Amino acid sequence: MPFWQIHYLISDQTKYEVSYWGFKHKFEFPIVKILDHKEKWAELEKSNNPFAIIVMAHLKEMETKQDINQRLFWKISLVKSLYKKGYGKKDILLLYKFIDWLVALPEDLGRRFHEEIIKYEEERKMPYITTAERIGIEKGIKQGIKEGLLKGVKLGLELKFGTEGLKIYPEIEEIDDVDVLEAISEAIRSAKNIEEIKEIYKNIK
């Protein structure tokens, strides 16, 4: 084999070998399976090694695929444990981002997760989530609340006033004030006509 040719050998996924110019490097390493640590959960909880959190996150991500509420519970628990273990700000933020990415939640539960973590940080006076992330989360929460209210208002208008009620929905859809939307939603229950609904928001347009 020419001296410049490089030869690689990988065997059983436990060895790596490379040779060139007559020199040879060989690495041997064990295979570690995430599932093998399922029975070692108590040890993982006690460990301050950041990789223990990563293993725990992977295990709970796999275990909760069919139970979204349990997934929310464990995602919150895992992130809170970062603070309890005494990690520094940099490590907490990196591990938080990893858990948030790995243990995915639907939009509504995602908002509940972020609300819980923000509240927990405020209680401990440890605002480790960056300002940009916090603003983004708060905007997402507000947007989610607004979308939910608008769906309720639209349904309420249709059920109470039929097609006439839906005619004013485009005007209501432009309202950003969540408090006003909540007032409209409440008013639909007792309103006798569409004008009573318009009275709530006509002065803010």
As a whole number of angstroms, the distance between CA 129 and CA 116 comes to 13
pLDDT by residue for the chain (205 residues), tens only, comes to: 343 344 444 444 556 666 666 677 666 655 556 666 677 788 888 888 888 898 899 899 989 989 999 999 999 999 999 988 888 888 888 898 889 888 988 878 888 888 888 888 888 887 776 555 666 667 777 788 888 889 999 999 998 889 888 999 999 988 888 888 888 988 888 888 888 888 888 865 5
Which ranges of 41-130 would DSSP assign to H, the alpha helix?
A: 41-46, 50-63, 68-84, 89-102, 107-124
CB-count exposure of residue 49 (10 Å: 0-12, 13-18, 19+) = exposed
- With a threshold of 0.85, does the pTM exceed it? no
